[in-house]
Amino acid sequence: MLITFEGIDGSGKSTQISLLKDKLTSVGKTVRVFREPGGTQISEEIRELLLNTEFHIDSVTELLLFSSARSQLMSEEVLPALEKGEVVILDRFYDSTTAYQGYGRKSLPLNQIQQINSIASHGRTPDFTFYLRLSLDESNHRRAHLSKDRMERAGDEFFANVIKGFDDLAEQEERFIVIEASQSIEVIHESIVKRLSSKLL
Ligand code: TMP
């Protein structure tokens, strides 16, 4: 089973992923967790390039680099793990590309981005996507004391468009489960577990 987590920075994805991993492991599942971009040596190197504040990266190049990192992760780790019947949890997947490179950067028309997403994911779609929804104000507030990587420096208008992208996807895609990220860690974890209980627990 492939479970993905989406949302803007500061939405609490990593905390929830770690809690979910522990829960699924405690009931005997083998769980693999990867972050995007990242998760393989090549994909982590690409991540360094993408987040480095010294570079000015053309928006189509950016789209293709995120996609290259994803393709490598899929072929090296995700597809083999799914083949073995393991649960794979991804901290971001191609919905981030639609939201950030499609709605945020507007690098290419959305239908072309969808085609690239399909190629980079080797045709695999998530079984469940948990979208931790957070307002721009709350995201800025939660991250005020942190230094910003190249993507995070994009500014409020960019992030408002990214949120619109995730919201549109949530309306269009049945696999999306929207959870308000302003709730407590425990309440969010419980709703995630509840949604998965009939399938995995
Ligand atoms: P992270 O900080 O959540 O690990 O993600 C790295 C940054 O990359 C984050 O700002 C979101 C961004 N991103 C994209 O712009 N497009 C993508 O396809 C992915 C996976 C991440």
Full domain range(s) for residue 131? 2-200
Distance CA 187, CA 168 (A): 24
Does the beta carbon of 96 sit less than 6 angstroms from any atom of ligand 1? yes
Backbone φ and ψ of 177, nearest 5°: -120, 115
Q: What's 19's domain CATH number?
A: 3.40.50.300
**71-126: pLDDT as tens digits:** 999 999 999 999 999 999 999 999 999 999 999 999 999 999 999 999 999 999 99
**140-169: pLDDT as tens digits:** 999 999 999 999 999 999 999 999 999 999
- How many structural domains does the chain have? 1
Ligand 1 atom 8: the closest Cα is on which residue?
Answer: 151
Does the beta carbon of 35 sit less than 6 angstroms from any atom of ligand 1? yes
Which residues lie across from 91 on neighbouring strands? Answer: 5, 35
Does the beta carbon of 44 sit less than 6 angstroms from any atom of ligand 1? no
Which residues lie across from 6 on neighbouring strands? Answer: 131
Residue 54: strand, helix, or coil: coil
Q: How much distance in Å is there from the Cα of 89 to the middle of ligand 1?
A: 16
> Which of 57, 110, 142, 151 most suits a substitution to test ligand 1, by most atoms within 8 Å of the C-beta?
151
Model confidence, pTM: 0.97
Residue 100's pLDDT is: 98
Residue 200's pLDDT is: 83
- Give the model's confidence band at 201: pLDDT under 50 very low, under 70 low, under 90 confident, else very high: confident
Q: Which one, of 175, 46, 66, lies nearest residue 116 by Cα?
A: 66
